[in-house]
Amino acid sequence: MLCRDYELKPIVDREKLCKVLCFPRVEEECCFSRLSQIRGLGVVEIYDFGKVVLEGGVRVVGKGHAAVVVLARYNNELVAVKIRRLDSKRDSLEREAELLILAKVSGFVPKVYTYSRDFIVREFIDGPTLKEFIATASLQQLRNGFAKLIEAAYSLDRIGIDINEISRPDTQVIFECGDPLKPRFIDLESARVSHNTSNVTRIIASIMRYRRAYPSFLDLTNEEIEHMLMLAKKYKIVEADSRKGIVERIILTLLR
């Protein structure tokens, strides 16, 4: 979903299209095969859109080590397409897509429409990354955002999906339309199914890291910090049934 109207320009120049489909190289063979693959999946247009500009001037939604992400049209929807980079150390995006599908019940990940080895066609989450959110949000919005993030992390813990990426959540979390109550985990590339999940403690660890960088972060007292660290320790060792009460106490501390 888009949060506002944008003027969308489809990429028509073949060289530019090949650049995003076969990043970081422009190989005719790859381009030919990926173009037919992506059309076969139902993607009809790719847009020159986003905050990241690739060499050659084409704009994309995101660029990571494993993929380039573009805004595209699929059926009648605007979607994000994660495109596997040619130099990615992963040989397939299928596992990430399957984990996203498994995590769908949580409501905190983008919906997957279709996928293949080289593409994931998924919901486009329009909004600031956690890093951008932190730079502009008020104290109350930040507290609400982190409280919701703890709830989101707990819902993934409950379904047994451990997301490694959220140890560094800066660009792994997007707040849909800047709404503190709508965080989404967008990258499940190194996530795994586990009996011993620790997403909640990872978010608490990230709060501690932000506090080291900005001591007034979330305006928490030393007692509140101690309390949260104690709860995080408990969270790690208790049985799954007792985790809910601990999460509620963490959220209460953040929202006081």
Ligand X SMILES: Nc1ncnc2c1ncn2[C@@H]1O[C@H](COP(=O)(O)OP(=O)(O)OP(=O)(O)O)[C@@H](O)[C@H]1O
187 makes contact with ligand X (CB under 6 A): yes
Q: Which residue has the tokens 């990241």?
A: 52
Q: How far is the CB of 198 from ligand X (least distance, A)?
A: 19
Considering only 34, 122, 143, 243, the residue that binds ligand X (CB under 6 A) is 122
Least distance from ligand X to the Cβ atom of residue 254, Å: 24
Identify what 110 binds: ligand X, Mg ion, none; CB under 5 to 8 Å per kind: ligand X
Tell me the HSE value of 59 on the side-chain side, using a 13 A CA sphere: 10
Could you tell me the smallest distance in angstroms from the CB atom of residue 65 to ligand X? 3
Query: Six-digit token pair at 81?
Result: 């397409």
Q: Which stretch binds ligand X (CB under 6 A): 8-16, 23-31, 60-68, 215-223?
A: 60-68
Among 11, 186, 191, 220, indicate the residue that binds ligand X (CB under 6 A).
Answer: 186
Which H or E run contains 112? strand 112-115
Of Mg ion, ligand X, none, which one does residue 243 interact with (CB within 5 to 8 Å by kind)? none
Q: Which is nearer to ligand X, 66 or 137 (CB)?
A: 66
DSSP character for 160?
A: T
The CA distance from 229 to 231, in Å, is 5
Shortest CB 30 distance to ligand X, Å: 17
**Closest separation between CB of residue 108 and ligand X, Å?**
12
Does residue 61 touch ligand X according to CB under 6 A?
yes
CB of residue 37 to ligand X, shortest distance in Å: 18
Q: Let me know: does 49 contact 6? Beta carbons within 8 Å.
A: yes
**In terms of C-beta distances under 8 Å and separation of at least 24 residues, what long-range contacts does 170-175 make, across chains too?**
170/129, 170/130, 170/131, 171/62, 171/129, 171/130, 171/131, 172/129, 172/130, 173/129, 173/130, 173/149, 174/125, 174/127, 174/128, 174/129, 174/130, 175/127, 175/128, 175/130, 175/133, 175/145
Cβ proximity to ligand X, 20 vs 232, nearer residue: 20
Among 14, 65, 233, 244, binds ligand X (CB under 6 A): 65
Q: What residues make contact with ligand X under the rule CB under 6 A?
A: 61-62, 64-67, 69, 80, 82, 110, 122-125, 129, 171, 174, 186-187, 189
